[in-house]
Amino acid sequence: MAFRAVMSRRGTNRSSDIGARWMSTWWGNVEPAAKDPILGVTEAFLADPSPSKVNVGVGAYRDDNGKPVVLECVREAERRIAGHSNMEYLPMGGSVKMVEETLKLAYGENSEFIKDKRIAAVQSLSGTGACRLFADFQKRFRPDSQIYIPVPTWANHHNIWRDAQVPQRTFHYYLPETRGLDFASLMDDIKNAPNGSFFLLHACAHNPTGVDPTEEQWREMSYQFKAKGHFAFFDMAYQGFASGDPERDAKSIRIFLEDGHLIGIAQSYAKNMGLYGQRVGCLSVLCEDEKQAVAVKSQLQQLARPMYSNPPLHGALIVSTILGDPELKNLWLKEVKVMADRIIGMRTALRENLEKLGSPLSWEHITNQIGMFCYSGLTPEQVDRLTSEFHIYLTRNGRISMAGITTGNVGYLANAINEVSKSA
Amino acid sequence: MRQQFTSLEAHGFESPTTQSAFSSSISSSSATDRRLKALARHLVDASPVMDSHSQNPNDTVSPSPTSSAFHADSVFAHIVRAPEDPILGVTVAYNKDPSPVKLNLGVGAYRTEEGKPLVLNVVRQAEQQLVNDRSRVKEYLPIVGLAEYNKLSAKLILGADSPAIQENRVTTVQCLSGTGSLRVGGEFLARHYHQLTIYIPLPTWGNHPKVFTLAGLSVKTYRYYDPATRGLDFQGLLEDLGSAPSGAIVLLHACAHNPTGVDPTIQQWEQIRQLMRSKALLPFFDSAYQGFASGSLDADAQPVRMFVADGGECLVAQSYAKNMGLYGERVGALSIVCKSADVASRVESQLKLVIRPMYSSPPIHGASIVATILKDRNLYTEWTIELKAMADRIISMRQQLFDALRARGTPGDWSHIIKQIGMFTFTGLNSEQVAFMTRQYHVYMTSDGRISMAGLSSRTVPHLADAIHAAVTSFA
């Protein structure tokens, strides 16, 4: 105690006496970090006392009562797991069973690549973790490469490749005038990129725009990728969630596989199995042969070990329990379709409501776009009005999470959008 | 890494032999050919850029409309297989061994007397509570994790009455077990701290150097273990920390040092604290065994609390892998004790920026189990009892092994077995002796002579004692 009294009498901060240095903080220069733009929206929403507030910010599914959903197949899987499993470490590459089932979803139930063991795959911390592991892997083994990222994209994609210290370039994607795909510029960017460039592609249900290439456009992209020797890395966060049919949602990937590309894929069960907080996903890299796949997998593990040693068990158990049981798997497929259909239904409802209100603007894009999000085309100023006047919360890029819309609030939302946009 | 990079050309990307040597598993369907033909015509006609590219000798693949199925060469073809992780590799080898007397003393995961993994009763109870609660959802946690869990974890390591907590000077973020906490803390330091060197003890857990190197810190060592005494090289430790540059980060094992089991006494800790504070060295505690070492949560937290009590700053990485048996659920926490609440709040905001591009937010399940147990008085008490039972069983294994070696008259002083503490014993055996024990006695351990006491039982102690005896007498 006397020691402390002596020290405090000497005075605190900015003492040049090294011995007393420990009395002042090391972190005086630490600036407050900017709030995450997406997660910050939910924080603001929660703080709002208004009874009519609507959260169409974060992309987490809600039912028609605006409540989060735990799928029945997940509840059943948890009942089977509880009390029956030990909690030993998974291998560094995660649950083998879960990875096997996950690869089938992306590459096809009877994929020859799986049979020939040509896929290097590890369980990852959801989609974020898969992208980060790949970015670190890319940095380590193709240190001169860079990543082409679509404009716009999920904001965290930029953070991930930046923290992995991989230089970024962008390619054209969204055309504001049409609220659709800027295909011509996209193809130009593919052609103009140096041979052998790395591209980040959203496999389906592009986040944040909801704008996907058509099948024919994917085929053209694949062809051009061939000509240029580009590497395609697919972020597939919404398989099953976009159209309601997982096979259909994987079409872009299957096209590239058919055309012989050796791709990489980040898969996530956050949305399509509602396992958000469990952090379950998978990173895979298609290789030339089994030997190469073994080598690549071992190197991915070398990156995972100093990050978290091995991935979490619980979510993986849920996934492998469901996908490994035909009945549960069927239940899951039904439940995914229900979620996708509700969202498609809300798209139709929002568009119809806006048209009924006599909005002079075109709202076709709401039903043309697909997946969790709609790029409304609203400006940041209009978004601010939605929030301040109507207590509607969304990100300032005008991205609306369709999952936050219900039959109960779609009218209110349409009215508010109409109000802020009719002078546009 | 640079020498591993080779251009696509060097990999024979344009070589005809590569082109023709594609795997037969890529089917070259005529439908694909027809489609490609149609597309190529469309693209070649429409785009002059395409034509100039086709004349470019650096083109990787000739865009001939009639070429059969394209087979890309992998951009990762140059990658060699990484060596097995030395610790986890032991279990891989053990699993392959068909011998009925094989013994796995590699990975530090607790085993019962029957050699089985253990899920604590309180964990099972918490699990059931969670499963039965239909109001529970699986939404994303905040980036910093489960708030309740964070508060309870800080109290656990710092003490419920810690002034630092009461003054809101501590920021705690949920991380992926100890590894994740160390990595996030390391990355934060690499970005915001002024001295990018971390001193780690010699020896230390094999993953420590990699974690901090990848985080962006430069790693140095300080003397710790004395092979001659199989105890602490206290003089060496003081000298090395004494000559470290002012402000350097120092990794300290809070208790039950891994891999040696050698801990400083409380008096030695006090000297370490004074030295470190006088040189403004920043303590970074790795607390992976709280409660597991002595059986008492408070006793095992003493070194950390001593440093916090002097009002200074420090980092603490906590893990629930061993003391709650939650290994695979990856539950841990990073606490940074700061000088003021304002600083702690800013620090927390920066920690989020490290976490978001790594995995967005931590997994919910394990943290929910921990929170359920820590906040319930009955479950908490039950936990402390189960924890003490695990610690006691390990202490008993130490005694039994020591007695067995003495009974066999095994040459050497084996008292370090009962002096060391925690999951591991640094036997002092060399790699030759270790290899012998694996070959002849099917005893699996890391080549540095570290054995996990948790993998022993009364039944298997004699076999291990025989193996050690044989190794020591065969290879002096």
Q: Collect all residues with Cβ–Cβ distance below 8 Å to A204 and sequence separation of at least 6.
A: A212, A236, A238, A239, A242, A243, A249, A250, A251, A252, A370, A371
Contacts of B352 in chain A (CB under 8 A): 33, 36
Percent of chain A topping pLDDT 90: 83
pLDDT in tens, B415-463: 999 999 999 999 999 999 999 999 999 999 999 899 999 899 999 999 9
Tell me the pLDDT of chain A averaged across its residues. 91
Token pair listed for B380: 């908490």
> Rounded mean pLDDT of B225-254?
96
Percent of chain B topping pLDDT 70: 85
Model confidence at B7: pLDDT above 50: no
Model confidence at A124: pLDDT above 90: yes
Q: Which residues of A have a catalytic role annotated?
A: 154, 235, 271
Contact with chain B for residue A259, Cβ under 8 A? yes
Q: Which of residues 308-327 of B touch A (CB under 8 A)?
A: 310-313, 321, 325-327
Supply the pLDDT for residue B43: 43
> Rounded mean pLDDT of A299-308?
96
Supply the pLDDT for residue B202: 97
**Measured between CA atoms, how close is B299 to chain A, in angstroms?**
21
Q: Which residues of B have a catalytic role annotated?
A: 205, 286, 322
Q: Collect all residues with Cβ–Cβ distance below 8 Å to A98 and sequence separation of at least 6.
A: A123, A280, A282, A316, A317, A319, A320, A323
CA dist A399 and A386 (Å) reads 12
Contact with chain B for residue A165, Cβ under 8 A? no
Inter-chain touch A88–B53, beta carbons under 8 Å: no
Model confidence at B38: pLDDT above 70: no
Q: Which of residues 426-445 of B touch A (CB under 8 A)?
A: none
Question: What does each C-alpha distance from B242 to A15, A24, B47 come to in angstroms?
Answer: 21, 21, 69
Q: Which of A30, A70, A313 sits opposite B343 (nearest CB)?
A: A30
DSSP string, B312-334: --EEEEEE-TTTT--GGG--EEE
Q: Model-level pTM greater than 0.90? A: no
Task: Find which of A8, A26, A61 to mutate to test the B interface (most B CBs within 10 Å of its CB).
Answer: A26
DSSP string, B386-433: HHHHHHHHHHHHHHHHHHHHHHHT-SS--THHHHS-SSEEE----HHH
Supply the pLDDT for residue B247: 95
Q: Which of A83, A140, A223 sits opposite B128 (nearest CB)?
A: A83
Percent of chain B topping pLDDT 90: 74
CA dist B32 and B22 (Å) reads 16
CA dist B42 and A220 (Å) reads 10
CA dist B100 and B98 (Å) reads 6
Token pair listed for B151: 């508060």
Nearest CA in chain B to A42: B142
More confidently predicted of B137 and B218: B218
Inter-chain touch B32–A191, beta carbons under 8 Å: no
Whether B217 and B190 have beta carbons less than 8 Å apart is answered as yes
Model confidence at B318: pLDDT above 70: yes
Question: What does each C-alpha distance from B76 to A127, B61, B73 come to in angstroms?
Answer: 22, 17, 9
Q: Collect all residues with Cβ–Cβ distance below 8 Å to B67 and sequence separation of at least 6.
A: B36, B61
Partner residues linked to A148 by β-bridges: A169, A199
